[in-house]
């Protein structure tokens, strides 16, 4: 039996999977600098960049342009190297990741000052690069990416992704989107390509489906409208609750959308309803993590329950949830607490184990408390979180940071007192000019604690 198993492992490790699933070399995979890029041109760019890369086991992919990132991602993988994806592009975050991978190098699409050690700025991609004779492939079990968690619950942690794992998760994402927008569509994303959500929804989709992506990362509402205008219908906007709130409040008019897609934080139902009404398109959410990739979706305006992707199974446990999914080599355990419905095909998210509070025999979740804070008129942004230290009876205190230029702290506390039990009122609550959100809108815990400390009188 061991011999059969060893043979299977060897065969699986040697199995090759195509870099690009495509029947037509003329199919457009991206729009870069206003120009459509065909599959044949894309492969030529990948092979051109791969030939320029130094020998190494891994490379930090710092390309900001989405198409440059896509090309570099595939070129790095084609050289047998892993794409290292730091939790941010801040110099200290890049240095920590590179220190954990001795001998690695870094790749970007523009000069950097200061630049990381062994940094290579890619030259402009040639428009007349010779087309490849055949499509390249990558070993199924090769580690092509190492993604890092955001640090919202502590220190960022690495998670290795094989090529077959990313193909399996992408198949689930494509199946979900096909059911809503059809098999052919275009994507504009406001999230960075380095984040696992950005990779899943704006880098991998055109490799395995009839999808084309916009190379930019538009930030301001008018820029998002311009980017969408440059892409053919049906269009999908990949974004986050933070970006979507800014879009809705701006009053900007967007070209017709087939769907909006959100992740990285729970979508307030009120915001989802406003977005669907304003932009006349369904708002979909995907649920997942850096460890698991996406594995469920929902449309919160129609149903609060999440629907699992094909082949995904959840097993609730006292302190979390075990997940089995096609993209996982072995079951993984999430910190999320769920209740299963419809014979396990759907689930209700009850919160994270670390977010559940119990004080004086009463229970609440940090997520629900934050939602109530954000619902207060005049609060533009905010978060309620747990502190590391405990009070005199051993209960960990909770604190809040709020962006509310027209309010003071007492007004916010009075409004919270009307909607939550007094034992869960945050102490302290501090007004700040802005929350320390990262590029995907998440709030690293260390940054929250640092900002709170700077707003507490000495």
Q: Which residues, 6+ apart, have CB-to-CB distance to 82 below 8 Å?
A: 57, 58, 59, 76, 143, 144, 145, 146, 160
Q: What is the mean pLDDT of the chain?
A: 88
Confidence of residue 2 (pLDDT cuts 50, 70, 90): very low
Specify the pLDDT at position 151.
57
Q: Could you report the per-residue pLDDT of 267-323, keeping only the tens digit for each? A: 889 999 999 999 999 999 999 988 999 999 999 999 999 999 999 999 998 888 999
CB atoms within 10 A of CB 236: 27
How confident is the model over 182-202, as a mean pLDDT?
94
Question: What tens digit of pLDDT does each residue of 98-145 get?
Answer: 999 999 999 999 888 888 889 999 988 877 766 666 789 999 999 999
Question: Which of the residue ranges 4-8, 89-93, 278-282 would you say has the lowest mean pLDDT?
Answer: 4-8
Inter-residue contact 232 to 257 (CB < 8 Å): no
With a cut of 90, say whether residue 440 has pLDDT above it: no
pLDDT at residue 11 in the model: 54
Residue 435 tokens read as 């929350």
Residue, of 389 and 333, whose pLDDT is higher: 333
What secondary structure does DSSP assign to 386-436, as a single string? EEEEE-TTSPEEEEEEEE-TT--HHHHHHHHHTTS-GGG--SSEEE-S---
Question: Once rounded to an integer, what is the mean pLDDT over residues 418-442?
Answer: 87
Which position has the higher pLDDT, 449 or 360?
449
Higher pLDDT among residues 355 and 434, named by residue: 434
- Give percent of the chain above pLDDT 70: 90
Look at residue 350 in the predicted model and tell me its pLDDT: 82
Which residues contact residue 146 at a Cβ distance below 8 angstroms, ignoring those fewer than 6 apart?
A: 58, 82, 83, 84, 85, 101, 158, 159, 160, 161
For residue 7, what pLDDT is reported? Answer: 41
CA distance 132 to 43: 7
Its CATH architecture, for the domain 12-304, is 3-Layer(aba) Sandwich (3.40)
> How many CB atoms are located within 10 Å of the residue 6 CB?
10
Query: 360-454: what CATH class?
Result: alpha beta
Q: Is the pLDDT of residue 207 over 80?
A: yes
Q: Where in the chain is the domain with CATH 3.30.300.30?
A: 360-454
Between CA 190 and CA 244 the distance in angstroms is: 10
- The per-residue pLDDT for range 363-381, each reduced to its tens digit, is 677 888 888 898 899 999 9
Contact 300, 203 (CB under 8 A): no
Res. 259: pLDDT tops 90: yes
Q: Which of 6-10, 173-177, 227-231, 256-260 has the lowest mean pLDDT?
A: 6-10
Above 80 in pLDDT, residue 25? yes
Q: What is the pLDDT of residue 276?
A: 97
Residue 272: CA count within 13 A, CB half-sphere: 20
Distance CA 112, CA 119 (A): 9
Confidence of residue 390 (pLDDT cuts 50, 70, 90): low
Question: Which long-range contacts (C-beta less than 8 Å, at least 24 apart) are formed by 325-333?
Answer: 325/168, 325/169, 325/172, 325/292, 325/293, 325/295, 326/168, 326/169, 326/171, 326/172, 327/165, 327/166, 327/168, 327/169, 327/172, 327/292, 327/293, 327/295, 328/165, 328/292, 329/162, 329/165, 332/291, 332/292
- pLDDT class of 422 with cuts at 50, 70, 90: confident
List, in sequence order, every residue forming a beta bridge with 148; answer none if it has no partner.
158
The whole-number pLDDT of residue 360 equals 59
Banded model confidence at residue 420, pLDDT cuts 50, 70, 90 = confident
Segments of the chain assigned to CATH 3.40.50.12780 = 12-304
Task: Report the C-alpha gap between 88 and 133 in whole angstroms.
Answer: 37
Q: Is 315 helix (H, G, I), strand (E, B) or coil?
A: strand
3-state secondary structure 325-361: CCCCCCCEEECEEEEEEHHHCEEEEEEEHHHEEEECC
Round to whole Å and give the CA distance between 161 and 212: 23
Question: What is the rounded average pLDDT of the residues 16-29?
Answer: 88
């Amino acid at each position: 039996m061991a011999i059969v198993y060893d043979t299977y492992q060897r065969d699986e490790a040697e199995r090759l999977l195509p870099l690009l699933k495509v029947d037509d070399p003329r199919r457009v995979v991206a729009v870069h600098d206003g120009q459509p890029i065909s599959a044949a041109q894309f492969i030529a760019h990948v092979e051109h960049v791969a030939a320029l890369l130094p020998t190494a086991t891994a490379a930090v992919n710092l390309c900001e342009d989405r198409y440059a990132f896509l090309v570099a991602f595939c070129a790095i993988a084609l050289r047998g190297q892993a794409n290292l994806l730091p939790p941010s592009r801040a110099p200290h975050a890049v240095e920590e990741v590179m220190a954990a991978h001795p001998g690695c190098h870094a790749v970007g699409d523009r000069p950097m000052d200061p630049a990381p050690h062994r940094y290579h700025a890619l030259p402009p991609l040639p428009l007349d690069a010779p087309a490849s004779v055949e499509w390249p492939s990558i070993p199924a079990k090769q580690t092509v990416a190492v993604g890092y968690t955001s640090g919202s619950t502590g220190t960022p942690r690495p998670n290795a992704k094989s090529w077959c794992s990313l193909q399996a998760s992408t198949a689930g994402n494509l199946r979900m989107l096909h059911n809503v927008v059809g098999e052919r569509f275009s994507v504009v994303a406001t999230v960075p390509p380095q984040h696992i959500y950005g990779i899943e929804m704006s880098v991998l989709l055109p490799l395995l489906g009839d999808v084309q992506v916009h190379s930019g990362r538009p930030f301001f509402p008018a820029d998002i409208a311009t980017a969408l205008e440059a892409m053919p219908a049906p269009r999908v906007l990949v974004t986050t609750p933070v970006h979507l709130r800014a879009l809705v409040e701006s009053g900007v008019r967007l070209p017709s959308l087939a769907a909006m897609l959100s992740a990285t934080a729970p979508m307030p139902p009120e915001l989802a309803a406003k977005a669907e009404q304003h932009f006349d398109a369904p708002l979909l959410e995907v649920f997942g993590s850096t460890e698991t990739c996406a594995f469920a979706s929902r449309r919160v305006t129609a149903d609060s329950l999440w629907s699992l992707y094909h082949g995904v199974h959840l097993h609730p446990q006292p302190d979390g949830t075990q997940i089995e999914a096609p993209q996982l080599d072995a079951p993984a355990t999430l910190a999320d607490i769920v209740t299963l419905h419809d014979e396990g095909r759907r689930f209700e998210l009850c919160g994270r184990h670390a977010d559940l509070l119990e004080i004086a025999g009463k229970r609440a979740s940090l997520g629900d408390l934050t939602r109530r804070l954000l619902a207060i008129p005049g609060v533009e942004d905010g978060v309620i979180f747990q502190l590391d230290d405990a009070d005199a009876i051993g209960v960990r205190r909770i604190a809040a940071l709020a962006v509310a230029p027209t309010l003071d702290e007492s007004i916010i506390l009075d409004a919270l007192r009307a909607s939550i039990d007094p034992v869960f009122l945050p102490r302290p609550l501090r007004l700040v000019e802005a929350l320390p959100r990262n590029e995907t809108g998440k709030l690293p815990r260390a940054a929250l604690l640092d900002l709170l400390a700077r707003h507490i009188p000495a």
